[in-house]
Structure 1
Amino acid sequence: MNKMPCELVVWESLPAIRAAIASEMVDSGLSQRVVADILGMAPSAVSQYLSGKRGYRIEFNQAVRESIISLSNDLREGKIVDPGPRICSICTQIRGVPSCDACEES
């Protein structure tokens, strides 16, 4: 059985997005601890994202990169508190479709 689209999101897309966001925020001068607090994760998770131990299996196109940079800047500047909707939008960009086939069938 092929993996369901949501399973791919959980295991591939979401970790890659979170890694890219964490990397952008640290590159902008924030400490790993501050980034972890903003993203609601352990500092060790940020460290693993930055070292490439997790979250780096996807090569993003330019449009997705720009969305990640924009989200990272907005989080760093405190313009948004809940990144969930923007992360969902980025995930949709990665998939390149508005909804998955499994969702269409139900």
Structure 2
Amino acid sequence: IDRGYRVKDVADLLGLTQAAVSQYLKSKRGQRGLDIIKKSDGAKRIVRELVDDLVAGRITIEDEVDYLCRVCEILREEGLIEGEGYAV
């Protein structure tokens, strides 16, 4: 959205519905995770790489899982999340 894409374009790119994208944009979904990611420069870097590669068509939506695993690894290393859930 920040790069000028419409909600429909973002939904298609991410394999989500337009309603889901709208809920993320309005912080009705994913806010807790976003707050955690904002605390980590490394995680933010990986998310930017993911967006760049998706927009450029260099990866598929299936490759997104690898990026998200890298984000989780960084957040665990930094003590921002633990195991399957969030750090308390």
Give TM-score scaled by structure 1 length.
Answer: 0.63
Q: What amino acid maps onto 2:54 in structure 1?
A: L
2:20 pairs, out of 13, 20, 45, with: 45
In structure 2, C-alpha distance between the alignment counterparts of 1:45 and 1:95, rounded to whole Å: 27
Q: Does 1:73 align with 2:48?
A: no
Quote the offset at 1:59 in angstroms.
2.7
Q: Moved runs in structure 1, 4+ residues, more than 3 A?
A: none
Q: What amino acid maps onto 1:44 in structure 2?
A: A
1:63 pairs, out of 28, 32, 42, with: 42
Report Cα offsets for 1:19-77 as digits up to 9, x if no partner: xxxxxxx1111111111111111111100001111101133211111110111111011
Give TM-score scaled by structure 2 length.
Answer: 0.75
Q: Does 1:29 align with 2:4?
A: yes
Q: How many pairs are equivalent?
A: 75
Equivalent residue for 1:95? 76
Question: What SS does structure 2 have at the residue aligned with 1:27?
Answer: coil
Q: Which has the higher helix share?
A: 1
Q: RMSD of the alignment, in Å?
A: 2.0
Q: Which has the higher strand share?
A: 2
In structure 1, C-alpha distance between the alignment counterparts of 2:74 and 2:8, rounded to whole Å: 29
Specify which structure has the bigger relative contact order, considering alpha-carbon pairs within 8 angstroms and separated by 6 or more residues: 1
Q: What amino acid maps onto 1:48 in structure 2?
A: Q
1:84 pairs, out of 31, 40, 65, with: 65
Gaps of 5+ in 2: 84-88
